């Protein structure tokens, strides 16, 4: 009965230094969860903001549900994240420092069928850091190819 979904932010590890990770619930309407279960969502351009004691995800795109008629949702509206009070306070402190951000990593379904979101506190990488990561990936790929010949 349970269908697994695989919605990831593949650019997150390349663009940011990831520090702490949290798992948060998302407040969704009926048509939003149906679209997510059909894997029709994107978190590539999304980020989290702190507003009035609550954490919201902004710029997350959830495609309108095909059979939703006039009950459909707005594709890019802000959605509230469900976190513990300590986690909210930690994120609030983190976001007060310039250059820090909170980004989503992946959306998944819990055992009970609820949509959950993995988020991480992050700092943006500089261009030379990105080049270093690409160089390390190439070196690792070359070593794996060389080791495969000897097996």
**pLDDT tens for residues 2-38?**
567 888 998 888 889 999 999 999 998 888 888 888 8
Structure tokens that stand for 114 in this block: 């609820």
- Identify the pLDDT of residue 3: 67
Stretch 55-64: mean pLDDT:
90
- Identify the pLDDT of residue 10: 87
- Identify the pLDDT of residue 27: 92
Distance of CA 84 to the CA centre of its chain: 18
In a domain, 149, yes or no: no
In a domain, 150, yes or no: no
In a domain, 89, yes or no: yes
The domain in which residue 59 lies consists of 7-125
In a domain, 139, yes or no: no
Of the two residues 1 and 98, the one the predictor is more confident about is: 98
Report the alpha-carbon distance of residue 50 to residue 92 in Å, rounded. 6
Would the pLDDT of 69 be above 80? no
C-alpha neighbours within 13 Å on the C-beta side of residue 19: 11
Whether 13 and 78 have beta carbons less than 8 Å apart is answered as no
- Identify the pLDDT of residue 2: 52
Number of domains, the chain:
1
Whether 41 and 108 have beta carbons less than 8 Å apart is answered as no
C-alpha neighbours within 13 Å on the C-beta side of residue 121: 19
Confidence category of residue 1, pLDDT binned at 50, 70, 90: very low
Instruction: Return the SS3 of 23.
Output: strand
């Amino acid at each position: 009965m349970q269908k697994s979904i695989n919605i990831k932010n593949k650019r997150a590890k390349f663009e940011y230094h990831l520090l702490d990770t949290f798992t948060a619930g998302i407040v969704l309407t009926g048509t939003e969860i149906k679209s997510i279960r059909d894997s029709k969502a994107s978190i590539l351009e999304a980020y989290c903001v702190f507003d009035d004691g609550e954490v919201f995800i902004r710029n997350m795109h959830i495609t309108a549900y095909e059979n939703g008629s006039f009950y459909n949702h707005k594709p890019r509206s802000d959605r509230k994240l469900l976190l513990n009070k300590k986690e909210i306070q930690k994120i609030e402190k983190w976001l007060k420092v310039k250059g820090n951000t909170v980004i989503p990593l992946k959306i998944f379904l819990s055992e009970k069928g609820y949509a959950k979101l993995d988020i991480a506190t992050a700092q943006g990488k500089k261009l030379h850091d990105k080049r270093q990561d690409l160089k390390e990936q190439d070196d690792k790929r070359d070593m794996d190819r060389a080791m495969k010949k000897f097996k």
